[in-house]
Amino acid sequence: MKSSKHWKTCRKNFQGLEISFQKLPRFGSSSGFALSELLAVLVVVVVLGALLYPIVTRSREAAMQAQCANNLRQLYLANTLYAGEYGMYVPAAPEINGEDSWRWHGSRSKGRGPFLPAVSPLSSYLGQSGRIQPCPAIGVFSPDGLEKGCGGYGYNVYGVGSRAFMGDSGDLMANAMKPKEILKPDETIMFADAAVPVGSGKKAPLIECAFLGIHQPPAGTGAERIDPAGASIHFRHKGRASVVWCDGRVTHEKMTHSSDDRRESMQIGWFGEKSDRLFDPL
């Protein structure tokens, strides 16, 4: 009796599972997903992706520009703290002709390798890292380059990092400007996004450049021996360059002209009028 009753219970449960299985949706059936419905979902996903891509791209570019601005503010603050201790801004290249090369952003010993940012004159004023934080938009740059280590930023070598506009001759790069000597800090560039091309052709790779090339070095001061080699402000943030001025402001400037067609095609040039006014501290 117990065996017969157990068999009836099992049979009833099996029949219940069979009925449930028959109720499951099947591909192509009226109660399941048709191929046209799956294609419609796929089209919606593609359209949404196409609509969201520009928004995501713009957000990413805005974030990189904001990070670049923070890096420039940090450089300005470091240079200001340096000036507070030494009475002048950091010299751009105090030993530019020596075997052991020193720059505002680091040093190297008897060679053409990258400068070591850990031994920059500004390193002790750059927070715990002691390093210049690179612009996040320079990831496509060539890994080579004589000025690698400057973070992709150029220094106003003539108007802030030296005394060229003061008419000083002698060891031009040994001393820089004093903050009080810069008469219009809100109109004098301190640092900006920078780069220069190497090699030939319009698709030549870009490398970091630690100096901002101006239209014409001040004559009669010895600055002519340091060739600016044309424009070096790099407008890499969607056609704009981030700039920090001697009053600490950060702006994002649009290129107005360049030194040649090749650099212009690479978004390297200047902004403002065709003169050195924005580099001249006087």
Residue 241 has pLDDT above 60, yes or no: yes
Q: Is the dihedral of CA 177, 164, 195, 110 positive or negative?
A: negative
Residue 112 has pLDDT above 50, yes or no: yes
> Which residue type occupies 138?
I
pLDDT in tens, 212-227: 999 888 877 767 655 5
Identify the residue whose tokens are 């796929």.
42
Q: List strand residue ranges (DSSP E) for the chain, in order.
A: 100-103, 106-109, 153-155, 189-193, 196-197, 206-207, 233-234, 240-245, 250-254, 268-269
pLDDT in tens, 115-127: 777 778 898 998 8
> Which residue type occupies 251?
T
Helix (H, G, I), strand (E, B) or coil at 114: coil
More confident residue, 105 or 110: 105
Residue 27 has pLDDT above 50, yes or no: no
- Domain boundaries along the sequence of the chain: 47-269
Average pLDDT of the chain to the nearest whole number:
80
Its pTM stands at 0.77
pLDDT the model gives residue 230: 85
More confident residue, 207 or 256: 256
Helix (H, G, I), strand (E, B) or coil at 251: strand
pLDDT the model gives residue 172: 67
